[in-house]
Structures are given as C-alpha cells and as structure tokens.
Amino acid sequence: MTSLGKKYIMAVTGLILVGFVIGHMLGNLQMFLHPDWMNAYAYKLQNLPYGLLWIVRLGLLAAVVAHIVTAVLLVLENKRARPQGYSVNATLQASFASKTMRYTGLILIAFIVFHILHFTVRATHADVTAAYYALTPIAGVATMHGSADMAGKLVPDVFSMVAVGFSAQFWYVSVFYIIAMALLFLHLSHGISSMFQSLGLRNKTWRLRLDRAALIIAIALFIGFASIPAVSLLGLLPYQEMVNTGVTVPTALTQP
Amino acid sequence: MSAKTLNLTLRVWRQKKPEAAGQFVTYKIDKISPDSSFLEMMDLLNEQLIEQGDEPVAFDHDCREGICGMCSMTINGVPHGKNRLQTTCQLHMRSFSDGDTITIEPFRAKPFPVMRDLVVDRTPLDSIIQSGGYITQRVGSAEDANAVPISKTIADKAMDAAACIGCGACVAVCPNASAMLFTSAKMSQLNMLPQGKPEKDRRALHMVQAMDDNGFGNCTNIGECEAACPVGISLDFIAMMNRDYAVAKVKKIFSGAA
Ligand code: HEM
Ligand code: FES
C-alpha cells in the first residue's frame, strides 16, 4: 500500500476511535449521577438487540488493530528513510505532541489492554469483580434513557464496581488511568487536527481552527475521563454512600 | 562595513566517498566578516585548507542567489540554517556571533546518499518529477498563454506551489525523510491549472508511487518542512495532494482508468 493509503487508514481509524472515546466519556460521566443512571445504562448496553454489542466491539477492535498495525508499518518505514540522524537536532515548529505520537500511542495500547481486563473481563481485582456481581436493584430514578420502567430489576452494580476499582485501596490504578488520559490528551491534541490533513480536508485557515478544536476536545476528554478516577479515589462521588463493596450483599438479594 | 569580525569553530562532516565512513572534523577560522555569506565563509575555509595542503570541503552551490536550489547543508541541525525563508547561499555571517561553534552536516535521508563531504545525491527528486510533474504538450503547439482564462486566486496559488526550488530541505528536516512537501508542490502547481487538469489523476497516482519507490518516509503532519522551506511552501499543498490522490485512487478503483 502507498504511503498515502496508510495515512488514510490512520486517519479513518483514528476518527472512529475519537468518536468512540467521546461517546464513552459522556457515558462514563453518569458516575456523577444516581447509580441508576450508570447501572441501567450498562445493563442496556449489555443487552442490546441483534448482537449489536459484539458488532460494535468487533468494529472497534478492527479499528484499533488497523490503527496500530498501520502505525507500526509507518514508523518502520520512517526509520528506514532516515538511517543516519543529525548530530545536532533542532525543532522549528513541530509540537511536542506531534513528535511523540508513537510513544503516547504505545502506552495507550497498554492502557487499553489493562482497562478491558479491569472493567470488561473483570480479572484484575477480586473486590472489583465482587462489587459487579453483588447485583443491585434499579431504584427507578428517572433517567434520560428511561430506567423508571426497570424499577426493582436486579442488575450488575457497575456504579459500585467503578467506584471500588478507583477507591483509595487501588490508588495506583487511579493514578495509572489519569496518566493514560494525559497521554490520550497529547495523542489527540495532534491527532484530531492531523487526520483532517491526512484526508486532504485542511488548509491554512482550517488548520488554525482544527488545531484549536483538537486542543479543546482533547482537554474536555482529559477532564471528563480523569475526573472519574480522581473523584472516586478521593471518595467524593455525589452518591458515594451508595457504593456497595460487594461484601455486604443487599437485602434484595438475600430475601428474594 | 562593520569593523568587527568573527572567529569561529566549524564542525564539518568529512566523507571521502559514498561507501566511506565519515566523521566530523573541527576547524578554526578567524577574521570572518559579518557581511560575507555563509558560502563565502566556506570558500575561505577551503582556501585555508588548500594552503595547508588539505582537501577542500565539497559542497553544492550554483546561483548563490536563492533561486537554483543547489546549495544544501544542515547548519546547527537546520537545513539552510535557522533563518526563515532563506537558502544557505542567502545566509550571512551576521546571523552568527563571535566565538560560535557551527556544526555543518549534509542533508540526511536514505534516498540522498552522501557523495562527498556535504554533497548529497538528490536525483530521486528528479525521478519524482519525471513520473508526472509535467504536462504533455507537442513542441511548438502551445496555445497563447492568455487564451486560457485562469482566475487570479488559482493563478496565485499555483505560483506559490511553483516557487519550490527543489532543494530538498523538506526531506532533510523531516524526521521521517518524507518528500511530501516537495512532491505536493510539484504536483499541485499543475493540478490546479487548466493545462494540468487532463493528466491530474494520473499525475497524482504516479508521483506518489515514485515518491514511495524512492524510499522517502511518510508525513506525520508535524510541519517541520514548511518551517524549513526557504521559499515558504505551505502544508496546504500536502493536503491538496492527499485529496487529489484519494480522488484519483477512488476513480481508478471504480472506473479502471486514470
Ligand atoms: C492503541 C494504541 C495506539 C497507537 C499505537 C497509536 C499510534 C499512532 C501513531 C503512531 C500515529 C501517527 C501516525 C502518523 O501520523 O503517521 C497516530 C495517529 C492518530 N491516532 Fe493513534 N494510536 C493509538 C491509539 C489511538 C486512540 C485510542 C485514538 C483515539 C481515541 C487514536 C487516534 C489517533 C488519531 C486521530 C491520529 C491521527 C491520524 C492522522 O495523522 O491522520 N489513536 N496514532
Ligand atoms: S546556490 Fe542556488 S539557491 Fe543557493
């Protein structure tokens, strides 16, 4: 494939991933609302019709794999094109973020693997797993995605799982998440504008606008994502008292 | 004339031939006038070397007025030196201070092998042009230039692209040794104009292919090339090339013709 073909793949898969992280961040912010919001939302995602959950998952997996494989090919070709470097190095206008895409990306893949093991497979900490399986009844709080009709239904306690996963006993997990989100900020502060250049949809005027938009989106993503481990670590979630560690099983479970 | 002169230390890359291993050699050079050009300073260094019975430093140059694109050299890590919108031949010693150490290296890229000292072989850039950086026109049959109306905006933009002197500084400064700024300028100057339109798709496909075949790297949109370019070729042309290539590729996939 030609150099430009690979750039298009980077841009299109990057766009898919950016779309995903924006949606994921907005969904996650429900941690700051009544647990019903998160739990009903998670239940509905888990129970999407027509196997939609797996269609989306496989689509995202394909995008991540294509993004990484293409990035590796590009980096190898670029190294081959400049076998001997300079003894004096200078930077004229390239941003720090733009020159560190390969490194921020590499740490992000490590983060993605850990994150999936942590909250999707739930294989990292017994306490996180316990919090998830200590089912909780939906209280019937009115949410945007209509969980009132689910009142009384027993669902996995995703709200508590996340709160426990980021609690003070696992402080290092929260710190790792926050660092990873800072790297995502760097990656996207260049990437979101760069993908328009790669697709040929940018000029001098739009470069300035897109650079600014990229910065704003990247900052919003950082604040949105990092706030959850940060606030959970401090034990300051608005509904902190409703966090169930899974040790004391709710009465609804013991008395069917 | 300023009376003050500069005493300098030069770290110069010396390499006898393409296969030979090169190394930096340090030279002292004194009493350089701030009004002399960088290449004149190199000439003085060479006179000094010849007097001592040493081999002079080989470096490329021709017009010495910033239009031919022949001069090269990476000066303190920047192709053509740190001043914006200047070729090495237009760089003057007033941009340096007394006592400075100046590191002078050849342009570095796999497709630009060092021939000798600071001279590199930039013919891969020519082969990119040969692959599509022209229009097909029978000799002697050119239409009167004014017979084809071209809007001022387009004409100006095409001229901006045509300003490229093909020096290769974009390749030299790029950490990936990508030739996309050069290729995009040579492509866009024709793709934008009516005379270039008939061969637009073929040009896009062939020039990108030639760029890859010559072993240049991939653009990561960091913008160093634009900053180093002595004639200020804009990243806009890379975006234009990306767009023209995508359109040409899609047309080729679905119609088979280009
Ligand atoms: C998982 C590990 C990842 C790796 C190894 C990685 C690596 C890279 C590299 C090396 C580039 C620069 C490519 C180039 O300019 O030639 C890049 C660009 C980009 N990445 Fe990633 N990345 C990763 C994850 C992500 C994620 C999670 C997102 C989105 C949320 C993302 C979005 C982007 C975007 C939008 C670009 C710009 C595309 C372009 O230049 O046209 N990447 N990535
Ligand atoms: S010698 Fe011609 S541009 Fe410098």
**A71 touches ligand 1 (CB under 6 Å):** yes
pLDDT at residue A245, as a whole number: 80
Protein residue closest via CA to atom 33 of ligand 1 = A14
Give the residue from A92, A99, A207 with the most B CB atoms within 10 Å of its CB, the best one to mutate: A92
Query: What are the chain A neighbours of B240 within 8 Å (beta carbons)?
Result: 200
Compute the nearest-CA separation of A196 from chain B (Å): 8
Domain assignment present for B179:
yes
Taking the centre of ligand 2 as the mean of its atom positions, its distance from the CA of residue A125, in whole angstroms, is: 66
Query: What are the chain B neighbours of A74 within 8 Å (beta carbons)?
Result: 218, 220
CA–CA separation, A159 vs A145, rounded Å?
Answer: 16
- pLDDT tens, position by position, B27-47: 999 999 999 999 999 999 999
Q: Are residues B111 and B127 in the same domain?
A: no
Token digits for A166? 């980021």
Question: What's the CATH class of domain A3-80+99-242?
Answer: mainly alpha
Percentage of residues of chain A with pLDDT beyond 70: 96
User: Among B91, B116, B141, where does a domain finish?
Assistant: B116
CA–CA separation, B188 vs B133, rounded Å?
Answer: 9
CB contact under 8 A, B108 and A87: no
Query: What are the chain B neighbours of A6 within 8 Å (beta carbons)?
Result: 218
The CATH number given to whatever domain includes residue B92 is 3.10.20.30
Q: Report whether pLDDT(A95) > 60.
A: yes
Q: Are residues B129 and B106 in the same domain?
A: no
Bigger pLDDT: A249 vs A32:
A32
Question: How many Å is the maximal CA-CA distance in chain A?
Answer: 74
pLDDT at residue B256, as a whole number: 79
Q: Are residues B238 and B134 in the same domain?
A: yes
For chain A, where are the alpha helices, taking DSSP H only? 3-28, 35-46, 52-81, 96-99, 101-115, 126-133, 158-165, 171-198, 204-233, 251-254
- Which ligand approaches the C-alpha of residue B73 most closely? 2
Asked if B224 has any chain A CB less than 8 Å from its own CB, the reply is: yes
User: Domain locations in chain A?
Assistant: 3-80+99-242
Give the list of residues 6+ apart from residue A154 with CB closer than 8 angstroms, or none: A135, A136, A137, A252, A253
Domain assignment present for B50:
yes
Give the residue from A10, A73, A80, A88 with the most B CB atoms within 10 Å of its CB, the best one to mutate: A88
The CATH number given to whatever domain includes residue B233 is 1.10.1060.10
Q: Which helix (H) or strand (E) holds A137?
A: strand A136-137
The angle formed by the CA atoms of residues B192, B209 and B252, to the nearest 5 degrees, is 70
Neighbours of A73 (CB within 10 A): 16
User: Among B116, B133, B163, where does a domain finish?
Assistant: B116
Token digits for A60? 């995202």
CA–CA separation, B177 vs B214, rounded Å?
Answer: 11
Q: Are residues B87 and B23 in the same domain?
A: yes
Q: Report whether pLDDT(A253) > 50.
A: no
Compute the nearest-CA separation of B218 from chain A (Å): 6
- B82, exposed or middle or buried, with CB in 10 Å at 0-12, 13-18, 19+? middle
Protein residue closest via CA to atom 3 of ligand 2 = B66
Q: Are residues B148 and B111 in the same domain?
A: no
Taking the centre of ligand 2 as the mean of its atom positions, its distance from the CA of residue B74, in whole angstroms, is: 14
Residue B23 phi/psi, 5° resolution?
-155, 165
User: 3-state SS string over chain B?
Assistant: CCCCCEEEEEEEEECCCCCCCCEEEEEEEEEECCCCEHHHHHHHHHHHHHHCCCCCCCCCCCCCCCCCCCCCCEECCEECCCCCCCCHHHCEHHHCCCCCEEEEECCCCCCCCEEECCEECCHHHHHHHHCCCCCCCCCCCCCCHHHCCCCHHHHHHHHHHHCCCCCCHHHHHCCCCECHHHHHHHHHHHHCCCCCHHHHHHHHHHHHHHHHHCCCECCCCCCHHHHHCCCCCCCHHHHHHHHHHHHHHHHHHHHCCC
CB contact under 8 A, B108 and A201: no
Residue A144 phi/psi, 5° resolution?
-60, -35
- pLDDT tens, position by position, A116-151: 999 999 999 999 999 999 899 999 998 888 888 889
pLDDT at residue B218, as a whole number: 97
Helix (H, G, I), strand (E, B) or coil at A105: helix
Token digits for A198? 């790669």
B232 contacts B163 by C-beta, under 8 angstroms: yes
- Conformational region of residue B7, where left means phi above 0, alpha means psi within -120 to 50, and beta covers everything else: beta
Q: Report whether pLDDT(A213) > 80.
A: yes
Protein residue closest via CA to atom 26 of ligand 1 = A17
Expressed as residue numbers, the domain containing B108 is 6-116
CA–CA separation, B216 vs B237, rounded Å?
Answer: 17
Domain assignment present for B1:
no
Q: Which residues sit opposite B26 in a β-bridge? A: B11
B223 contacts A93 by C-beta, under 8 angstroms: yes
Compute the nearest-CA separation of A16 from chain B (Å): 19
Q: Are residues B149 and B250 in the same domain?
A: yes
**What pLDDT band is residue A246 in, cutting at 50, 70 and 90?**
low
Can you tell me the mean pLDDT for A249-255? 46
User: Among B71, B87, B116, where does a domain finish?
Assistant: B116
Of B24, B224, B235, the CB nearest to A197: B235
Q: Which residue of A has its CA nearest to B174?
A: A82
First to last CA, chain A: 61
**What pLDDT band is residue B2 in, cutting at 50, 70 and 90?**
low
Q: Are residues B58 and B159 in the same domain?
A: no
CA–CA separation, B120 vs B126, rounded Å?
Answer: 14
Taking the centre of ligand 2 as the mean of its atom positions, its distance from the CA of residue B199, in whole angstroms, is: 31
Structural domain count of chain B = 2
**What pLDDT band is residue B142 in, cutting at 50, 70 and 90?**
confident
- pLDDT tens, position by position, B205-232: 999 999 999 999 999 999 999 999 999 9
Percentage of residues of chain B with pLDDT beyond 70: 98
Alpha carbon separation from B8 to A10, A178, B29, B59, B93 (Å, rounded): 46, 49, 5, 19, 10
Taking the centre of ligand 2 as the mean of its atom positions, its distance from the CA of residue B72, in whole angstroms, is: 8
Residue whose C-alpha is closest to residue B74's, from B175, B219, B201, B216: B175
- pLDDT tens, position by position, A51-92: 999 999 999 999 999 999 999 999 999 999 999 999 999 999
CA–CA separation, A119 vs A7, rounded Å?
Answer: 32
CA–CA separation, B171 vs B58, rounded Å?
Answer: 21
Q: Which amino acids bring their CB within 6 angstroms of ligand 2?
A: B 61-64, 66-71, 87-89
- pLDDT tens, position by position, A219-238: 999 999 999 999 999 999 99
Per-window interface: A 66-85 vs B, CB < 8 A: 74, 77-78, 80-85
Query: What are the chain B neighbours of A90 within 8 Å (beta carbons)?
Result: 76-78, 82
Give the residue from B120, B220, B233, B235 with the most A CB atoms within 10 Å of its CB, the best one to mutate: B220
CA–CA separation, A156 vs A133, rounded Å?
Answer: 6
Percentage of residues of chain B with pLDDT beyond 90: 92
Taking the centre of ligand 2 as the mean of its atom positions, its distance from the CA of residue A203, in whole angstroms, is: 29
Taking the centre of ligand 1 as the mean of its atom positions, its distance from the CA of residue A5, in whole angstroms, is: 15
Token digits for A93? 């206008």
CB contact under 8 A, A202 and B236: yes
Interface size between A and B, measured as CB pairs under 8 A: 135
**What pLDDT band is residue A255 in, cutting at 50, 70 and 90?**
very low
CA–CA separation, B65 vs B194, rounded Å?
Answer: 31
Token digits for A202? 């940018």
CB contact under 8 A, B246 and A200: yes
